[in-house]
């Protein structure tokens, strides 16, 4: 079970897709990382001390949460019982599942995959080749949309020898996602065209407005807001000719690019409740994010920032009196 024959194919596929302009951290993004590991060798190896591993990886996001990562590292500072240096290299292919939402600063993850190791003592021709099954976990912290730090640990089961080794690691990486996705250009909802009516049957304009507030740095809809969202959904079902644009906003904390992503995540979260929970036709609800560009309160105060962390929507309909 060797992985070396797949290395060229996977690298070529990742580089070919890295030119796509997509949301940072989201589906289609590419991450490049440099890392250091401390491999805790199993006692059956008869090594005097554990090894320091240094290497790099490249990953491709198949979805907003699932990343396929190819990594390579080399072994340093390990010694055998006779004092000779232990040299070698590892090649690994892992899948990572990330928690939280694309665009959040903190993204914990779990990982699983396989690695191939070739290792031996300096000055000797014989080398030991082993295949490992890997499982692990950790977290990434995004300082910006494009730079992050990672810490994690892996358990490595040696399929050929039947023993298990541990490898804690830290890394620094860059995300090449083509920058934040621009705010979608949404055509203004057309004004309803009233059917011709007699003069004695005047029309009346009715309106429903939505204002959903969010916690700091969060895009999940709070339970207390579901009732207001349902009222909007019921109104749209009563007047099936109506459409709406769900608009997301943030306070001024954080970078412009980060807030743009966060505002889009908030708008999409409210849209998902309207469509998936309350049954509004998806073609009648669009979502747009405006970041921190449209405050309605003073961002210099906590109370003002709380008001600005919001999603807004409104629906109008004309009815006969």
CATH number of the domain residue 296 falls in: 3.30.1330.60
Q: How far apart are CA 21 and CA 42, in angstroms?
A: 44
In-domain check, residue 12: yes
- Give the residue from 170, 167, 89 showing the smallest Cα distance to 135: 167
Neighbouring residues of 314: CB distance < 8 A, sequence distance ≥ 6: 207, 208, 209, 210, 244
Q: Looking at the structure, tell me whether residues 226 and 134 fall in a common domain.
A: no
27 and 153 within one domain: yes
Kindly state whether residues 130 and 70 are assigned to the same domain.
yes
CA separation for the pair 190, 29 (Å, rounded)? 36
Same domain membership, residue 222 and residue 116: no
Global confidence as pTM? 0.49
pLDDT of residue 279: 93
The pair of structure tokens assigned to 232 is 């909007």
On the 0-12 / 13-18 / 19+ scale of CB atoms within 10 A, 140 is buried
Does some domain include residue 198? no
- Determine the length of the chain: 321
Q: Rounded distance, CA 212 to CA 267, Å? A: 10
Q: Residue 43 has what pLDDT? A: 61
Q: Does the residue 187 lie in any domain?
A: no
Both 159 and 289 in a single domain?
no
Give the sign of the dihedral formed by CA 90, CA 93, CA 99, CA 104: positive
Sign of the C-alpha dihedral computed for residues 65, 70, 75 and 76 taken in this order: negative
Return the residue matching tokens 């405050």: 295
* β-bridge partners, 182: none
C-beta of residue 146 within 8 angstroms of C-beta of residue 117: no
What tokens does 107 get? 């993204």
The span from the CA of 25 to the CA of 141, in Å, is 12
- Pair 275, 128 in one domain: no
CA 139 vs CA 62, 108, 152, 169, 222: distances in Å: 18, 4, 6, 11, 25
In this structure, the answer to whether residues 160 and 240 fall within a common structural domain is no
Domain of 256 in residue numbering reads as 203-320
Does a structural domain hold residue 183?
no
Q: How many domains does the chain have?
A: 2
Q: Could you tell me if residue 186 is inside a domain?
A: no
* Residues 167 and 244 grouped into a single domain: no
* Burial class of 49 by CB neighbour count within 10 A (0 to 12, 13 to 18, 19+): exposed
Q: Are 99 and 225 found together in one domain? A: no
Residue 224, classified by CB atoms within 10 Å of its CB into exposed (0-12), middle (13-18) or buried (19+), is exposed
Helix (H) or strand (E) holding 15: helix 4-17
Rounded-to-integer distance, Cα 38 and Cα 260, Å:
38
Partnered with residue 91 across adjacent β-strands are 72, 116
Looking at residue 41, its pLDDT comes to 73
Per-residue pLDDT of the chain (321 residues; tens, 9 = 90+): 444 444 444 444 444 444 333 445 678 889 999 999 988 876 666 666 677 889 999 999 999 899 999 999 988 777 766 667 777 888 999 999 999 988 888 999 999 999 998 877 654 455 677 899 999 999 999 898 889 999 999 999 989 888 888 889 999 999 887 544 444 555 566 676 666 655 556 777 888 899 999 999 999 999 999 999 999 999 999 999 999 999 999 999 999 999 999 999 999 999 999 999 999 999 999 999 999 999 999 999 999 999 999 999 998 888 776
What pLDDT is attached to residue 278?
93
Host H or E run for residue 149: strand 147-158
pLDDT at residue 55, as a whole number: 93
């Amino acid at each position: 079970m060797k992985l070396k024959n797949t290395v060229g194919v996977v690298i070529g596929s990742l580089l070919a897709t890295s030119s796509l302009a997509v949301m940072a951290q989201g589906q289609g993004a590419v991450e490049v990382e440099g890392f250091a590991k401390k491999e805790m060798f199993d006692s059956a190896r008869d090594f005097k001390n554990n090894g320091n591993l240094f290497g790099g990886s490249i990953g491709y996001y198949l979805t907003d949460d699932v990343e396929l990562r190819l990594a390579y590292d080399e072994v340093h500072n390990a010694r055998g019982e006779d004092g000779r240096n232990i040299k070698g290299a590892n090649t690994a292919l892992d899948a990572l599942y990330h928690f939280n939402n694309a665009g959040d600063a903190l993204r914990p993850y779990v990982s699983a995959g396989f690695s191939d190791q070739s290792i031996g003592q300096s000055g000797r021709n014989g080398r030991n080749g082993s295949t490992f099954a890997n499982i692990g976990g950790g977290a990434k912290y995004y300082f910006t949309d494009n730079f992050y730090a990672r810490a994690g640990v892996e358990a490595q089961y040696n399929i050929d020898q039947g023993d298990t080794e541990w490898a804690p690691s830290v890394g620094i990486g860059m995300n090449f996602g083509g920058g934040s996705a621009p705010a979608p250009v949404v055509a203004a909802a057309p004004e309803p065209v009233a059917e011709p009516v007699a003069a004695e049957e005047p029309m009346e304009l009715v309106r429903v407005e939505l204002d959903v507030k969010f916690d700091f740095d969060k895009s999940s809809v709070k339970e207390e807001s579901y009732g207001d969202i349902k009222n909007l959904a019921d109104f749209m079902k009563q007047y099936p000719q109506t459409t709406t644009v769900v608009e997301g906003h943030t306070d001024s904390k954080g970078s412009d690019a980060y807030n743009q992503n966060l505002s889009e995540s908030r708008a999409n979260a409210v849209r998902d409740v309207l469509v998936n929970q309350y049954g509004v036709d998806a073609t009648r609800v669009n979502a747009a994010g405006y970041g921190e560009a449209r405050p309605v309160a003073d961002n210099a105060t906590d109370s003002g920032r709380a008001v600005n962390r919001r999603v807004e929507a409104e629906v109008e309909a004309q009815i006969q009196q």
